[in-house]
């Protein structure tokens, strides 16, 4: 186990001379991982300035310091083959980097200056604002139907809530943000009280104290309210948001807010359900088996009980996306337009079946066994180990591995099936579809037209019998709850 090489230290805020909480994983590796998390993010964006937290973090990670222009920083970092990566979510802003211990002093001098003495140059703001706007307009809206569908879903689930806007903001807000706005956000949010410092690897002993002393120059601040956010307004009935764009397939995501997070009694039972119903990017989940393996409708189908962005690019979730309010979500990968109606019905049918039937004892035992071991793989890198330890501080739980293993050991099938019945439902949901020809699909959905499947190969009788039920599965959508938005209006 990693614990043999690395001692996990959780040091609380200590006196005037040291900054923040610290997660330290000293070890023998020549690689030193830095992961600094501020308990602030898009939930702290002022209502009229969505994107402020994100652009501020970009200016620190990809902009100059007071003494060095960004190009000079890039020059200095290039021979070390390193850079600073930033990630902004609702409650956490993360700055991470890895450097070889040979270069630790030189790299840390740059890292420290970028985070503590930002340069706030206009040319950096212009470049990073352009990048962010292109991130929304081109990378998300233009090039990635699946991520677009998911992000629209998240924004709808949290409509009117602090979590209700995209982390990058909106184009119109980004266009107005000034250097002064960013400096104000930095001053108020980048405080010692909000900071958790993560270090791992073969750094010298005295490095730890040096970092704490340096970051004690941040304002003391008061701890963020990031753990106590109200639940979003409940969804009444089924709501469908359709995004009209020129695309060859139909990307679908749907779900509802979930008031269960790590540390809550029903979290581990629901995690077992999630893994059984749709373990991310893995075959063997119920949705994957029935939609892709048995019928070949698409590339994969998965379920989630925590926010999981960029799922098409990664197999394990990124840490430090901890939130006070979570989501239940089903992700249906793009369907061919003629089978979209059926595919969506099949996912609803499977969710309904999950609630009615739950897991069998054999399914429960198998999934529990999987999660108990799989958790080791989630923390296989030092960055992930640091990230999970920091998330555990946020959720006030022991190390995630321990939390999960202890919880799974006590768990019964009944716990899982009761949690399913308590938290899952099919009546009040937000659905998002990204498609071409939304008007036509809308009509078919509202009319509840039968959507029979035609296959290119013989299918077993049980599939054909099930299809007869699924093809006529009633979806109680009302016209007033269906909206079509042209893609160019989304996140604008």
Partner 1 sequence: MMLPTIAVLLACALSASAATPPQKMFPYPYQQHDFPNGLRLITVPTDFPNVVSLYIVVATGSRNEVEPGKTGFAHFFEHMMFRGTKEYPPDRYNDVIKKAGASFNAYTSDDLTAYHTTFSKADLETMLRMEADRFQNLSYSEDVFKTEALAVLGEYNKTSASPGMKISEQLRGLAFQTHTYRHTTMGFLKDIQDMPNQYAYSKMFFDRYYRPEYTTIIVAGDVNSEATQAMAQKHWGAWKRGTYTAPIPKEPAQDGPRQTHIDWPSPTLPWSVVAFRAGAYSDDTKDTAALDLLSFLAFSENSPLYRKLVLEDQKVDMLRADNADHVDPYLFVIYARVKKTSDMDSVREQILATLAGFKDTLVSAEELDKVKRHVRYSFALGMDDSEAVASILASYVALRRTPETINRVYDLYSQITPEDIRNAARKYFIESGRTTVTLTGVSK
Residue 104 is given by DSSP the state H
Print the binding letters for residues 350-389 with partner 1: x by CB under 8 A, - otherwise. ----------------xx-xxxxxxxxx--xxxx------
Q: Is 341 in the site for partner 1 (CB under 8 A)?
A: no
Q: Which of 12, 15, 79, 180 binds partner 1 (CB under 8 A)?
A: 79
Instruction: Please state the closest distance from residue 487 (CB atom) to partner 1, in A.
Output: 8
Question: How many residues line the site for partner 1 (CB under 8 A)?
Answer: 86
Site for partner 1 in 311-330 (CB under 8 A): 312, 315-316
Residue number, 224 or 291, with CB nearest to partner 1: 291
Q: Which of 85, 229, 281, 353 binds partner 1 (CB under 8 A)?
A: 281
Contacts 24+ apart (CB under 8 A), 224-228: 224/39, 224/40, 224/44, 224/91, 224/189, 224/193, 224/194, 226/39, 226/40, 226/41, 226/43, 226/91, 226/92, 226/324, 226/394, 227/324, 227/394, 227/396, 228/324
CA–CA dist 288, 196 (Å, integer): 38
What are phi and psi for residue 368, nearest 5 degrees? -60, -45
Lookup: tokens for 131: 């990048």
Site for partner 1 in 292-311 (CB under 8 A): 292-300
Site for partner 1 in 392-451 (CB under 8 A): none
Q: Give Dmax (Cα) for the chain.
A: 73
Q: Is 113 in the site for partner 1 (CB under 8 A)?
A: no
Q: Which of 8, 85, 103, 263 binds partner 1 (CB under 8 A)?
A: 103
Q: Which of 82, 253, 354, 392 binds partner 1 (CB under 8 A)?
A: 82
Print the binding letters for residues 23-42 with partner 1: x by CB under 8 A, - otherwise. -----xxxx-x---------
Q: Evaluate whether 259 touches 233 at the Cβ level (below 8 Å).
A: no
Residue number, 29 or 93, with CB nearest to partner 1: 29
Q: Is 459 in the site for partner 1 (CB under 8 A)?
A: yes
Residue 135 is given by DSSP the state I
Instruction: Please state the closest distance from residue 283 (CB atom) to partner 1, in A.
Output: 6
CA–CA dist 263, 168 (Å, integer): 28
Lookup: tokens for 230: 């109200």
Instruction: Please state the closest distance from residue 67 (CB atom) to partner 1, in A.
Output: 17
Instruction: Please state the closest distance from residue 335 (CB atom) to partner 1, in A.
Output: 8
**Alpha helix ranges (H) inside 65-220:** 70-77, 104-116, 122-134, 145-157, 171-176, 179-189, 205-215
Residue 215 is given by DSSP the state H
Of 43-51, 142-150, 215-223, 414-422, the segment contacting partner 1 by CB under 8 A is 142-150
Instruction: Please state the closest distance from residue 3 (CB atom) to partner 1, in A.
Output: 9
Q: Is 75 in the site for partner 1 (CB under 8 A)?
A: yes
Site for partner 1 in 172-231 (CB under 8 A): 202
Q: Which of 361, 440, 449, 488 binds partner 1 (CB under 8 A)?
A: 488
Distances (CA, A) of 26 to 31, 99, 104, 286, 399: 11, 14, 14, 41, 16
DSSP string, 346-376: HHHHHHHHHHHH---HHHHHHHHHHHHHHHH
Instruction: Please state the closest distance from residue 257 (CB atom) to partner 1, in A.
Output: 26
Instruction: Please state the closest distance from residue 469 (CB atom) to partner 1, in A.
Output: 20
Q: 53 exposed, middle or buried (CB, 10 Å; 0-12, 13-18, 19+)? A: buried
Residue number, 335 or 470, with CB nearest to partner 1: 335
Q: Is 146 in the site for partner 1 (CB under 8 A)?
A: yes
Q: Evaluate whether 325 touches 163 at the Cβ level (below 8 Å).
A: yes
Instruction: Please state the closest distance from residue 159 (CB atom) to partner 1, in A.
Output: 26
Site for partner 1 in 238-257 (CB under 8 A): 245-249, 251
């Amino acid at each position: 186990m990693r614990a043999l090489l690395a001692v996990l230290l959780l040091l609380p805020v200590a006196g005037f001379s040291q900054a923040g909480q610290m997660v330290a994983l000293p070890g023998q590796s020549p690689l030193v991982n830095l992961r600094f998390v501020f308990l602030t993010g898009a939930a702290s964006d002022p209502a009229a300035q969505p994107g402020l937290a994100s652009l501020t973090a970009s200016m620190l990670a990809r902009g100059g310091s007071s003494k060095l222009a960004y190009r000079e920083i890039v020059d200095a970092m290039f021979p070390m083959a390193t850079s600073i990566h930033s990630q902004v979510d609702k409650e956490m802003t993360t700055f991470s980097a890895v450097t070889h211990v040979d270069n630790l002093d030189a790299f840390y001098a740059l890292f420290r200056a970028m985070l503590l003495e930002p340069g706030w140059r206009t040319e950096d703001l212009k470049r990073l604002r352009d990048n962010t706007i292109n991130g929304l307009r081109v990378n998300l809206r233009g090039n990635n139907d699946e991520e677009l569908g998911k992000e629209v879903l998240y924004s709808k689930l949290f409509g009117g809530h602090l979590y209700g806007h995209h982390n990058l903001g909106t184009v119109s807000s980004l266009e107005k943000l000034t250097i002064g706005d960013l400096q104000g956000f930095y001053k108020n949010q980048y405080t010692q009280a909000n900071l958790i410092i993560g270090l791992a690897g073969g750094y010298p002993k005295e490095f730890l104290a040096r970092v704490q002393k340096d970051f004690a120059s941040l304002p003391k601040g008061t701890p963020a309210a990031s753990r106590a956010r109200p639940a979003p307004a409940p969804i009444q009935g089924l709501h469908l948001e359709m995004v009209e764009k020129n695309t060859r397939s139909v990307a679908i995501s749907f779900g509802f807010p979930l008031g269960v997070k790590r540390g809550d009694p029903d979290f581990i039972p629901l995690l077992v359900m999630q893994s059984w119903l749709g373990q991310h990017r893995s075959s063997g989940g119920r949705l994957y088996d029935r939609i892709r393996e048995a019928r070949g409708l698409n590339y994969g189908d998965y379920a989630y009980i925590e926010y999981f962005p960029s799922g098409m690019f990664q197999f394990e979730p990124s840490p430090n996306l901890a939130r006070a309010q979570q989501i239940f979500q089903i992700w249906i990968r793009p369907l061919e337009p003629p089978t979209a109606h059926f595919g969506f019905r099949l996912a609803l049918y499977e969710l309904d079946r999950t609630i009615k039937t739950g897991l069998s004892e054999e399914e429960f035992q198998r999934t529990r066994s999987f999660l108990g071991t799989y958790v080791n793989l989630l923390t296989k890198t030092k960055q992930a180990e640091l990230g999970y330890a920091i998330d555990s501080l946020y959720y006030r739980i022991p190390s995630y591995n321990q939390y999960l293993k202890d919880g799974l050991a006590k768990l019964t099938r009944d716990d899982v099936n009761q949690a399913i019945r308590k938290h899952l439902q099919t009546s009040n949901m937000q659905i998002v579809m990204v498609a071409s020809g939304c008007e036509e699909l809308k009509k078919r959905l509202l009319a509840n037209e039968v959507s029979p499947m035609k296959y290119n190969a013989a299918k077993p009788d049980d599939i054909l019998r099930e299809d007869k039920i699924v093809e006529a599965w009633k979806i109680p959508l009302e016209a007033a709850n269906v909206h079509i938005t042209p893609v160019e209006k989304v996140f604008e």
